[in-house]
Structure 1
Amino acid sequence: MHPHPHASPNAASPAAPHAPHAPPWDVLVVGGGINGVGICRDLAGRGWKVLLAEASDLAAQTSSSSTKLIHGGLRYLEHYEFALVRKALQEREVLLKSAPHLMWPLRFVLPHDPSMRPAWMIRAGLFLYDHLARREVLPGSRSVVLAGSALGQPLKPSYRRGFVYSDGWVDDARLVLANAMDALERGAELLTRSPVTAVQRQTAAQGGGWLATLQTPQGPRQVHARALVNAAGPWAESFLREVARPAQGEALATKHLRLVKGSHIVVPRRFTHDHAYIFQNPDKRIIFAIPYEQRFTLIGTTDVELAPAALAGLNRAAIDEQEIAYLCEQASRYFAQPLQREEVCWSYAGVRPLLDDVSGDPSAVTRDYLLETHADGAPLLTVWGGKITTYRKLAEEAADKLSALLGQARAPWTLGAHLPGGDLREWIGPPERPDRDFERLQNAVQRRHGWLPPALTQRLCRAYGARVERVLGQAGSARALGAEVAPGLYEAELQHLQREEWAFSAEDVLWRRSKLGLHYSAEQRQAVADWLAQNPA
């Protein structure tokens, strides 16, 4: 491992014993998923001194394993979660405008199966979905005739009618990175591959706050912070019980998490249009079939409850054969061409940390979040639950609470703020609509860099938005980008990912900073790993 280039000059050295006075950090955030980096970004933008520690890579677990949707959660209406759905619907367009290169509108086709839910119920749900929050960008729902249409062509002929509605798509791992980069640029320090192995409240004589021990790639480091944020996702409860080690008689972990594994499969493209499908299953669950990476279809997700003990030593959640069979079977109820097991060319799984609301059915457990604070002694805030769509609002509320705990209210600022690469005005002038603005960006980059293959232009614009020239530099040809390590992946981009985006391994590059691993052969993926090994950051 190598020190991150953005680390502070003394980050590589074990810390000297702290003087028993004011902590050097205002807040230590534990966890580099979407909620952790979102909170870190918001706090840094308010002028607080923030350090974030992540045990692995940014977005290494749940936050890179979502269904990749910015959505209100249409099915949550059946569980009467109107407040959650409204909050999520309000956030959709806020997020779309903040980073139009990473998030964009997506239309969903819901084939009507009368044996599942009656048409009136679906119409009522879609009416609510359209009107619970104001829409400026996303069109409303409508009925659609599937028979004889492009939308109906991939489906069994028995599905003759349906409905179309709007939500959004997100590159989940890059959304985490964009928040991390923004936090860094606003003064935060972020350490990856640095698990927090112990935290301890300090007495007033010791300066108060928290003393944390981090195992960084360069060795142990002690960090003294006034407040602690537990944003460890699926590990939030075990972090409180096993690492924070509450004082005698103190219950830091007052809530419980339901750990629900969600798995997805990727198959060769099943349809050529740009809409996604939402399929209703006999078990009252739903799955999505979504256009993915140009040549593929993403299908998911499952809901498999895990015992907390399953997290111990878990490096990566993985799909099992029963889940693959379930997804193939449910998708085959709708697709005219049945889905075969051998078509699955990739899969991924993540563990969702859902706030335990005593629901029997894992798919019915609330996707809302709770921010719990402990103000006795050093302040502590724990994030229970949450979903990617509401991360910005969650972070804003957490920063409000922490500012109050730290004794100084500081104004929120992220509503209406762009994420890095999301402000396209330097390329396109005044914005119009996020989806059209991205097309204008792509056209402008192609005009300026006519030597770039159009497919590479699109990929780079999607990944880096208005900051695409931080990768391209002054290059006037592909040769100026250095060696082509794998198809469409040049040394200049790999160096950028190491320098600016905390990328160390081939997995970081191929499966989180991009999805190029899906397009490459084993030999091409190995070529990327070899280059990184020979050119450490």
Structure 2
Amino acid sequence: MTQTGSTEFRRSPSTREQRKARLRADPSPQVLVVGGGINGIGTFRELALQGVKVLLAEKGDFCSGASSAPSRMIHGGLRYLENGEFSLVRESLLERNRLLTNAPHYVSPLPTTVPIFDYLSGALGAAARFVGLSEGNARRGALVIKLGLTLYDILTRHNRLMPTHRFSGSRETRRRWPDFAPEIKCSATYYDAHISYPERLGLELVQDTLSACPDASALNYAGVEAIEGGKVVVRDMLTGERFAVSPAYVVNAAGAWIDGVNGRMLGGRAEKRLIGGTKGSHLVVRNERLLRELGDNMVYYENQEGRVCIMFAHFGNVLVGSTDIRVDNPETVRCEADEQAYMLESVRTVFPNIRIAPEQILYTYSGVRPLPYREGGATGTISRDHSFHRRAATAECPFPILSLIGGKWTTFRAFGEQAADQVLKDLDMARRRSTRELAIGGGREFPRTPEARGEWIRRVSQETGLAPHRIEELLPRYGSAAREVAAFIAAGADAPLATLPDYSRREILRIIRHEDVETPEDILVRRTAVAIAGRLTLAVVEEVTGILAEDRRWAEAEREKALRDTVASLSARHGFVPPSRSLQDVERNRIA
């Protein structure tokens, strides 16, 4: 097994253009993975590390669908216990701990408090749901929560990285949480984990794989169109160039788009519906009182009908989520006004005296969970476990298609491992290595204690000449890879961004040149935390677009189109509302 400090992952991955050139010369991967969300990326990584010649094709940017819209939790799934999904919870807790170990730069412990409104309520309902006699939701009382948390602790007893749960009585709860609703009787606190940069972690997995595996290739903005003459047609969504790819095997990891991809590959003859997605929406709000009240805790609570919601501090604001609504078209999802009202009202069930004004909503996002299709029933009772559907090769489709159903951020590695093992079995190949203890990206050699971080910052500051405070800004963004970022920044004339002074021009340039960036939105939403931190303004979008345009030598018309397209996309998907003045007015006053 590769050790944490191995240099094989320090080689620079090839560029997108280099990978396209290779595909033109040799369009015959053993396996084509369709979908560059976290499940597709995890499977791509697993296969490539076993020596499989694999191509990953994603129609948008990497981690731009549901993988960019999680609750930012890495968790065991406490509520899944009610559905009897013990194996999923066990696997999730194990994978949570692996991510705490393998990606400590982005995944960290998150103390989680459950406010409890009653002592005995929900026991009968939970039992009925467990044995399949009921699908209704109801608030869980202390007895049900105590049982669930005890099972949580039992399942991690052999691999415990964090404290066990504890209960707090009325007096202690009121002392710690003075703004809790008076109906709250007591509380329980346990630990799960938080992920700061999920999209960057996905990108690191891609880059690690490209660096370590010469036969692996990955393209963002590359969509699967059809099967023609027994070959899969992959189109560059930016240039229109088409590639006729001849794989021996296809893994469909397109998430909520799985049925559409299968339909295109099978000429509209998909055998059955596999995905019954549900939409999860979230809000980022700026409310100082709520932020102070939460501190470093997440509050994991139930609203009146028993729907589980969350709120916790994230990049200096409060993240609130989420909804669970059936959807048929994943292309058009956004956080609608009624969902926003629902989540704001749910906060008031716990903190009735804290009002979040509509203007305090800084950012919204939505994603579609790729859950297994089921006719009817409550969305909360649909299994969150993952599974496969294998379609055998036929004359029209001369390769098997393995569709990945379900899955979540916490379990991506295990799901990818299981999918890869199925593919390896079908290809009569053996597994060479495990990823269970394989560090990811900037998690390798990451300084884990305050003392180690201080020494690391001092040393890198001396090596690069950047001020210690600048290294301190870069470390949580890039982990130990901040050393390479700092070296790039120090290699040329640099200046802080006018609109984001804690970022600099050369930091953005490195992202552009080394991280498969094609659009300004790639930078603002997925390579940095600018969007989810609630820092989007028209001036920010314009300045970042200008840096990208300058580096790519875009003509003025290209720069203006990219600016307009980015504003339109951010408005449609994330509720971004630019000032009413026209972009032509902005252009006349553009930042130099």
TM-score higher than 0.5 here? yes
Question: Hey, what's the Cα distance between the residues in 2 that align with 1:242 and 1:263?
Answer: 28
Unmatched 5+ stretches in structure 2: 1-12, 122-138, 554-592
SS in 1 for 2:245: strand
Asked whether the equivalents of residues 41 and 202 of structure 2 are also in contact (C-alpha less than 8 Å), the reply is: yes
Q: 2:184 aligns with which of 143, 149, 159?
A: 159
Deviates more, 1:517-526 or 1:384-393: 517-526
Q: Tell me which residue corresponds to 1:194.
A: 222
1:421 counterpart residue number: 442
Cα deviation digits, residues 405-424 of structure 1 (max 9, x gap): 11212234111001111111
1:28-177 residue pairs with structure 2 within 5 A? 28-114=32-118, 116-133=139-156, 134-145=158-169, 147=171, 151-170=176-195, 171-177=197-203
Q: 2:284 aligns with which of 247, 266, 269?
A: 266
CA contact (8 A) 2:49 2:432 kept: no
Report the alpha carbon displacement of residue 404 of structure 1 after superposing the two structures with TM. 1.3
Distance in 1, matches of 2:469 and 2:319, equals 20
- Report which stretch shifted further, 331-340 or 27-36: 331-340
Higher strand residue share:
1
Q: Cα 1:25–1:129, aligned 2, differ >3 Å: closer, same or farther?
A: same
**Aligned with residue 399 of structure 2, among 366, 369, 378:** 378
Deviation at 1:463, TM superposition (A): 2.3
The alignment status of 1:181 with 2:197, answered yes or no, reads no
Structure 1-normalised TM-score? 0.87
Q: Partners in 2 of 1:526 and 1:88 — Cα distance?
A: 41
Does structure 2 conserve the Cα–Cα contact (< 8 Å) formed by 1:71 and 1:167?
yes
Alignment-derived partner of residue 221 in structure 1: 243
Shift of residue 439, structure 1, vs aligned partner: 7.1
Distance 2:525 2:175 in 1: 31
* Alignment-derived partner of residue 487 in structure 2: 473
In structure 1, C-alpha distance between the alignment counterparts of 2:366 and 2:435, rounded to whole Å: 30
Q: 2:16 maps to which residue?
A: 7
Deviations 1:243-299 (A, max 9, x none): 3337xxxx7544521121110011114133111101111222110001110x20000
Corresponding residue of 2:510 = 496
1:331-480 equivalence runs, <5 A = 331-335=347-351, 336-358=353-375, 360-376=377-393, 377-424=398-445, 428=447, 436-437=448-449, 440-441=452-453, 444-446=456-458, 448-449=460-461, 456-473=470-487, 480=493
- Matched residue SS, 1:106: strand
Shift of 1:496: 1.9
Question: Which one of 258, 277, 280 corresponds to residue 236 of structure 1?
Answer: 258
Shift of 1:374: 2.8
* Contact 1:35–1:394 (CA under 8 A) maintained in structure 2: yes
- The answer to whether the 8 A contact 2:372-2:383 is kept is yes
Contact 1:201 1:378 in 2 (8 A): no
| Inter-partner Cα distance in structure 2 for 1:442 and 1:397 | 40
With over 3 angstroms needed to count, the CA separation of the structure-2 counterparts of 1:455 and 1:338, relative to structure 1, is farther
TM-score (norm 2): 0.79
Identical positions, percent: 30
More helix by share: 2
1:470: Cα distance to partner? 1.5
The CA distance in 1 between the partners of 2:451 and 2:115, in whole Å, is 30
- Report if the CA contact (8 A) 2:140-2:306 is conserved: no
SS in 1 for 2:201: helix
Read off the aligned partner of 1:193 and give its amino acid letter.
Y
Code of the residue aligned with 2:188 in structure 1: it is F
Deviation for aligned residue 1:506: 2.0
Cα contact 1:31–1:231 (8 A) shared by 2: yes
Q: Which deviations, in whole Å up to 9, do the C-alpha atoms of 1:217-258 show, x marking residues without a partner?
A: 341222221111101010001211233337xxxx75445211
Distance 1:424 1:13, change over 3 A: closer
Alignment of 1:494-533 (within 5 A): 494-517=508-531, 518-533=534-549
**Number of aligned residue pairs:** 502
